[in-house]
Structure 1
Amino acid sequence: MNRLYGLLILLFICIGVSAQSYPFRDKNLPEDARIKNLISLMTIDEKISCLSPRLAVPRLGIKGTMTIEGLHGLAYSGPANWAVKGPKASPTTTFPQAIGLAQMWDPELLKRVADWQATEARFLAQNRRFGTSGLIVFAPNADMGRDIRWGRTEECYGEDPFLNATLVTAFVKGLQGNDPVYWKTASLMKHFLANSNENNRSYNSSDFDERLFREYYSYAFYKGVVDGGSQCFMAAYNKYNGIPCTVHPVLRNVTMKDWGLRGIICTDGGAYRQLLSTHAYFPSLDVAAAECIKAGITVFLDNYMAPLREALSKKLISESEIDEAIYGNLRVLLKLGLLDDQPGDPYNKIGISDTIAPWNKPEARELARLATRKSVVLLKNQNSLLPLKKDKVKSIAVIGPSANKVISDWYSGTPPYSVNILNGIKNASGDDIKIRFAMSNKADSAVIAAAQSDVAIVCVGNHPLSYGLGWGQNYVPSDGREDVDRQAISLEQEDLVKLVYKANPNTVMVIVSSFPYSIPWSKENIPAVLHVSQSSQELGNGLADIIFGKESPSGRLVQTWVSSIEALPPILDYNIRHGRTYMYDKSVPLFPFGYGLTYTSFSYSDLKTDAKTISKDGTVNVSFRIRNTGNFDSDEVPQLYVSFPGSKVERAAKALKGFARVMVRKGEEKLVTIPVKASDLTYWDTESEKWVLEPGKIDFFVGSSSSDIKLKGSLLVESR
């Protein structure tokens, strides 16, 4: 009886604590006052605990939240070892890989994808059936895809800083929502900084000058903070100019002081202990823990608690410094609405009032399918082999190892279903077209199927999980993924393409891959070539929409496809001015940055600007007309590039500064306007340590890729 009485007293105390109205719960108080009040109520153990990815203060009634991956759909459950298994496991909508989403060149559609992910995160966090998902989403990846051999190319948005910054900003806004007070989820960008090689990443140094830091490698992160509103990012494993990114002074001096970030800066998984084990940068873990916090780290994805307590006892770090670190973490909880339960929060009823799982809704299927077909890039279409006409094609051979599977990558979730290319083609072709299938050419099966059919569609590419091999291993040199870079860029499966083409000249090559390949033979010989990225649950249906002409392809490449591996500088050379990316590479590409064909043709005309000069903080609108001169309705993606003749500093030969995606129906004409902002024409001046608008003439051209010039113009820049 005494025990029961004691339990009842404890229960009433807990209820009283959780219901107590602390000042930090008062939405009418200033944000700073609320956070400082909360910190003043916390014990030192609670403070140390809030340096982990599970941010919560149960004693004060703060359930908190944790982190989750979300590059192209929530990786809630899935192939990774940290994914949720068992009774709480759940499917989530799976979109094309990030590199594929970038190929849409559509910030608004990308924002919709991110918003859908945020809805699913809220549902999984707040629905009674689950209640376990994190609201801090590890996405987007703002690293630059400067080298196609990088193993994690699939996670990025390509090689151009302007495009990356635009897409990162859109994804951040989609994740965080448009409410002026609350965030739907918190976008935590990764991996700061210059983490674009996998081999030796735990100790190598990415070295480059201050201008490349500002203008290239950190630019998408910068825009993600100042334009997108992200207040969180992950530090990278590697060093930058000899100092591990986990403790680099730029964390505090640039991202916090210059950009105004006041949220979470976390280590990568295990990176804290790598400061000793691989970087050999500190003598002990207690020193390393203290120095991480002093540098700006606020969350450890590692076992840090015991060393940090030791650092406190040795006075290597003070409690006030820990208070300053957790301030940003608690601010993220506040922005997520987790320090109060106000009726004005538009996101706190998701999964409660609406109990239909988002991934089961028709809107999820439609959005995944739309994103998939918008991401498809048509690389070649000789004699208009595509689209296939159902009334003329009686049989199709679908061939290749990528034809009958949808492969999740390491950062995929578990899709509620998946449609492979073979089934997508069957769905689209109906009963009147005979479909033959051969996964390989064992016993001449592919050759026979191709020879017996009107058209052969051969599907080749990479395997994002390396067929189940262990960490850091690949079966073939041209494969890459986390912890292993590609050693080749040729496509081993191109031999299968050659055999199929010999058996049937009406061959469509579909490259299903996480990165570009060097395929000069296929470009020269195969009449139709398509590229689509991995993992979308609607891979087959989205691609079939393109193959059968439900929609014209309109995706564009976000990386240069080089003709040969010799065109690439050494992978550890981070100075892109040494011939890397379309901006500095003087070699002739196989397919240039921004390239992609459609099923129609366009003419550009009537170039105008609304001003002849541009000055500080100004914008000039560049307008022109696009006419669809072919026989197919289609999106077009006009791109605006600038050059800086006569600049006193070395600048790119051409650089993307604007683009649009516009639907133009056959026979119609549309007026397109692309704004050029003075801020996008600046360079980082290392002497004054600020962005400088250089006076003088700039040239610009508008075209359908970085190598395609349709219209030319110029502007006079005034520095005043």
Structure 2
Amino acid sequence: MQGKNTTRIRTAVLLATALWAGQAGAAGYPFQDTALAPEARIANMLSLMTVDEKIDALSTDSGVARLGIPSFGSTEGIHGVVQRGDQDHQKARITTTQFPQPPGMGASWDPALVRRAGAVQSTEARYITQSAAYQKPGMQPGVQPMLMQWGPQADLARDPRWGRSEEVYGEDPFLAGTMAVAFTRGIQGDDPTYWRGAALLKHFLANSNENGRGNSSSDFDERLFREYYAEPFRMGFEEGGARGVMAAYNAWNGTPMGVHPLLNSLVIKQWGVDVVSSDGGAIGNLVKLYKRYPSQKEAAVAGLKAGINQYLDTYKDELRAAFKEGAITEAELDAALARKFRITLKLGLLDPAQGNPYAAIKDGAAPWDSASHKAVSLQMALESIVLMKNEQHTLPLSKTGIKRIAVIGPHADSVHWDWYGGIPPYKVTALDGIRAALGPGVQIDYVPDNGGGAAERAARAADVAVVLVGNDPTCGPNMGKEWTDAGTKPCADPGDGREGRDRETLTLAQEALVRQVLAANPKTVMVLMSSFPYTINWSKQHVPAIVQMAHSSQDQGSALAQVLFGDYNPGGKLVATWPASMDQLPPMMDYDIRHGRTYMYARGEPLFPFGHGLSYTSFRYTRLRTDAAALPRDGALNVEVEVANTGKVAGDSVVQLYAAWPKSAVSRPQKMLVGFQRVSLKPGETRTVRIPLEARRLAWWNAARGAYEVERVPVRLMLGESSADIRLTRTVEVR
């Protein structure tokens, strides 16, 4: 295969040179000619580069200054551009729009809104890259390029103890994949020729334990690989159009993902991925932790041969030495860079600005200050909020009935940023939002904790108490200094987790504060600011109202206040099963989810089920039907249902479609999400909701045949408001 690639590149070089020679008056290099085919342009670039330049371009700096080839750069980007500032690398501190953490974005169950968030992020990355206001003095725009955005995160939250659950959309592959597709499309844009930005999915694959992650192995069979762990990635590439990926630290069945043969055989050759990045320090882990190679040089060579063409590690001197020794060839470097330069062309970095709609994103006011970006931010924060419990209609609170309110807790007057968050242009805490909503006529008593009984006194004197508790996404302010070869140091609170450290318990330590406040005032609302599930059994039993939302939204307080006081009706849904006890969970390193993980295979009664979320109104589902009598194995049909708002206020219903296979000849999940739609309804309004169902969504992976297969068996379709709240069922034949 390598020989074919080399021949193709050489042929393209000759063709490009010949075509260029025949063009009168041309200036510059052949690769600057937009009339040439992309592969011919790339071949010309490679023919002009030295070996040293080729090796250098395998970093996050994909540019070649001597030839005027700009770098597309990089930025973290799972819920906003990250530009916190770095004096060592001469990077300025730049504010950018910050959305809720991905579990919050997933909780919206609104891919159209997630797509808009991706567009906001990518527009801001373009603006920073192209605006002269953000470049070093005397330099041209592009000194701080960040057009390749390291997101979305396509891993799955298979276990609530995972420290990086805060980075992913949830435990379900279809939900996570749908959101990854939406965010990718938002980043890359709608233009048929050019991309606004380039999405890089991470971390491939089955990367959901932090403790020992540097050389741990995620072990499971090929069916789970295809049907569960790889499915969000496949969707992101094949349906979303992403062409970048980051390999995970861990191994799959003993082979480290950074050198796994699947990078070439599946990711590059079948899914068409162009940029394959190592994770930070992962090449070194192959030597230090896996002890798979004797030195960094051999590990770097192995990465290149496996398909890596973006190194986040020491590699340059190593590859130069390997080239001199003949361990790698220039043809191998060319093949790696040819893929990378396809992204350069898709971003329009070598083309005139005319015809590229994204080239003009550089002038005028900063986009994060625009009304349109602020509106997307607020809407995402609103739709991310989940109403977990609302006994006797405790919520919404009446503004006119409150003379004094206690706002209590460590999360009342802060917005916590996470390891992959940037600096927002503004932030609204819960206390800020409540003050703005109630105005000067209401006394607001803020107490951060119960030191000296202060929280109890404030709650007792108030008409209502709002207590805000949850986790700290970074386990304190010094996360950057708490790294070891094994990850990060343990969190002070064993119920907290972060990158490099899994949670030791699902217990919410701050639930003690909730108990104290509730004892002082029975009209208490609990707001849980959390990146992952907690076993809040006591609170579920005793606290009249519980609201949950993810961290890091710049509009956190504004959105929360709108929900608390009824200006917005929450419609968010949980993206993971909340277990009632850690006893319901298999061992952390058991990656076979069929042993009791997720709503698909759970054996016990959860505290809160996947897809759960209440509303201030009620909905009725009727007339479940399909627009075809049977589903062709290679076709599709529409599932339709009438949804009515039977309450007195407008609200959003998330219609969830699940499938089950009671007569399957192979083992299948007890139910599986295959479609959903969030719909807004006015009081008394009824609407027909139509959810498309493609037969391929029902397929299982036949390892013996090496292919997906759709069974000719009846499929039970189930519609409901959560995985445990099924309202209607219907059986459809597959033929």
| TM-score of the two chains, using structure 1 as the length reference | 0.95
- The answer to whether the 8 Å contact 2:624/2:728 transfers is yes
User: Do residues 711 (structure 1) and 728 (structure 2) align?
Assistant: yes
Please give the per-residue CA displacement for 1:227-266, whole angstroms capped at 9, x wherever unaligned: 10000000001111101100001101111222222x1001
Task: Say what the alpha-carbon RMSD is for the aligned residues.
Answer: 1.3
CA 1:83 to 1:406, structure 2 compared with 1: closer, same or farther past 3 Å? Answer: farther
Amino acid at match of 1:234: M
Please give the per-residue CA displacement for 1:618-652, whole angstroms capped at 9, x wherever unaligned: 11111111111111100110100000112122110
1:385 aligned partner? 394
User: Do residues 547 (structure 1) and 554 (structure 2) align?
Assistant: no
Of all paired residues, the percent bearing the same amino acid is 46
SS at match of 2:595: coil
Of 179-188 and 27-36, the range deviating more from structure 2? 27-36
Out of 629, 634, 651, the position equivalent to 2:651 is 634
SS at match of 1:141: coil
Out of 459, 479, 485, the position equivalent to 2:502 is 485
1:9 aligned partner? none
- The answer to whether the 8 Å contact 1:77/1:83 transfers is no
Out of 412, 415, 424, the position equivalent to 2:421 is 412
- The answer to whether the 8 Å contact 2:517/2:524 transfers is yes
Out of 64, 72, 82, the position equivalent to 1:75 is 82
SS at match of 1:172: helix
Amino acid at match of 2:563: I
Amino acid at match of 2:689: V
User: Do residues 129 (structure 1) and 130 (structure 2) align?
Assistant: no
CA distance in 2 between partners of 1:289 and 1:619 (Å)? 46
Please give the per-residue CA displacement for 1:519-554, whole angstroms capped at 9, x wherever unaligned: 000000000000011111110001111111111000
Following superposition, the deviation at residue 87 of structure 1 comes to 7.5
Following superposition, the deviation at residue 21 of structure 1 comes to 2.7
2:335 aligned partner? 324
CA distance in 1 between partners of 2:364 and 2:218 (Å)? 47
Amino acid at match of 1:466: C
Q: How does 1:44-443 map to 2 (within 5 A)?
A: 44-77=51-84, 88-131=92-135, 132-261=144-273, 263-351=274-362, 354-443=363-452
Amino acid at match of 1:357: A
2:633 aligned partner? 616
- The answer to whether the 8 Å contact 1:76/1:84 transfers is no
1:659 aligned partner? 676
Following superposition, the deviation at residue 86 of structure 1 comes to 6.8
SS at match of 2:399: coil
CA 1:26 to 1:342, structure 2 compared with 1: closer, same or farther past 3 Å? Answer: farther
Q: How does 1:451-530 map to 2 (within 5 A)?
A: 451-469=460-478, 470-471=482-483, 472-473=488-489, 474-530=491-547
Following superposition, the deviation at residue 315 of structure 1 comes to 1.4
Amino acid at match of 1:283: P
SS at match of 1:21: coil
Of 468-477 and 439-448, the range deviating more from structure 2? 468-477
Following superposition, the deviation at residue 84 of structure 1 comes to 8.7
User: Do residues 698 (structure 1) and 711 (structure 2) align?
Assistant: no
Please give the per-residue CA displacement for 1:1-37, whole angstroms capped at 9, x wherever unaligned: xxxxxxxxxxxxxxxxxx9432211222211111112
Amino acid at match of 1:628: N
1:4 aligned partner? none
Of 338-347 and 170-179, the range deviating more from structure 2? 338-347
CA distance in 2 between partners of 1:417 and 1:303 (Å)? 37
Of 519-528 and 38-47, the range deviating more from structure 2? 38-47
CA distance in 1 between partners of 2:254 and 2:652 (Å)? 46
SS at match of 1:467: coil
CA distance in 2 between partners of 1:437 and 1:293 (Å)? 56
CA distance in 2 between partners of 1:612 and 1:446 (Å)? 61
Q: Unaligned stretches of 5+ in structure 2?
A: 1-25, 136-143
Q: Unaligned stretches of 5+ in structure 1?
A: 1-18
CA distance in 1 between partners of 2:327 and 2:729 (Å)? 60
CA distance in 2 between partners of 1:712 and 1:395 (Å)? 48
CA distance in 2 between partners of 1:27 and 1:163 (Å)? 39
Please give the per-residue CA displacement for 1:422-463, whole angstroms capped at 9, x wherever unaligned: 111101111222111110001111000100111100000011
SS at match of 1:426: helix
- The answer to whether the 8 Å contact 2:166/2:531 transfers is yes
Please give the per-residue CA displacement for 1:674-717, whole angstroms capped at 9, x wherever unaligned: 11111101111101111111111110110000001111001111
SS at match of 1:63: coil
Following superposition, the deviation at residue 133 of structure 1 comes to 3.5
CA distance in 2 between partners of 1:180 and 1:243 (Å)? 38
CA distance in 1 between partners of 2:127 and 2:87 (Å)? 17
CA distance in 2 between partners of 1:324 and 1:85 (Å)? 30
User: Do residues 33 (structure 1) and 40 (structure 2) align?
Assistant: yes
- The answer to whether the 8 Å contact 2:450/2:456 transfers is yes
Count of residues in correspondence between the two structures: 694
Amino acid at match of 2:316: M
Following superposition, the deviation at residue 285 of structure 1 comes to 2.1
Amino acid at match of 2:63: A
Please give the per-residue CA displacement for 1:547-578, whole angstroms capped at 9, x wherever unaligned: 11111000000000110111111111100000
- The answer to whether the 8 Å contact 1:77/1:85 transfers is no
CA 1:87 to 1:308, structure 2 compared with 1: closer, same or farther past 3 Å? Answer: closer
CA distance in 2 between partners of 1:83 and 1:693 (Å)? 55
